[in-house]
Amino acid sequence: MNADGPPARLRRALAAHTTLSLAYADEDGPGACAVLYAVTGTGALVFLTARSTRHGAALARQAPGARVAFTAHRDAQQWSSLTGLQGRGPCERASGPALAAARAAYARRFPFVATAGRLAQALSRADHWVIHPTWLRLVDNSRGFGHRTEWAA
């Protein structure tokens, strides 16, 4: 994997959004869900979820480093100016030093979480998950229909 992570332009595009659609699979087949995420300094994506959710249980059962796919984009865009990202990479539950970094990135992005009462309590029981993108595609129709920038580690 490229230790430097995605190029700055793609990191900025990731930072421009807050919600990603996470694709995963379990014994019932494919699934997708929306999660709030933060971007670390290396371009990894951090999100929280409890193992009691379908996607949290699926992630917890997968082999370490198993890959997921995701998209991130704003809602209510016009086709002529549509911009967003597609990506995939290994996803793992953060632990040790990686957990401290994941918590810090998430707290910087969503500072209200720490003081949101019931939300803070619920999220304190959730796991921090980290996606290390190995492939990203930025779609930016404002630069021409179907304009893409791709990166692979």
The pLDDT tens digits for 120-153 are: 777 777 899 999 999 999 888 777 787 788 899 8
pLDDT reported for residue 117: 75
pLDDT reported for residue 129: 94
Q: Is 110 exposed, middle or buried (0-12, 13-18, 19+ CB in 10 A)?
A: middle
pLDDT reported for residue 42: 86
Prediction pTM value: 0.86
Query: How many Å apart are CA 110 and CA 127, to the nearest integer?
Result: 16
What string of DSSP letters covers 74-97? -SS--GGG-EEEEEEEEEEE--HH
Low-confidence ranges of the chain (pLDDT < 50): 1-2
Per the CB < 8 A criterion, the answer to whether 13 and 6 are in contact is: no
pLDDT reported for residue 95: 92
pLDDT reported for residue 82: 67
Secondary structure element (H or E) that encloses residue 59, with its range: helix 54-61
pLDDT reported for residue 76: 60
**Domain range 8-152, its CATH number among 2.40.50.90, 2.30.110.10, 3.40.50.720, 1.20.1050.140:** 2.30.110.10
Residue 57 in tokens: 């249980």
pLDDT reported for residue 150: 87
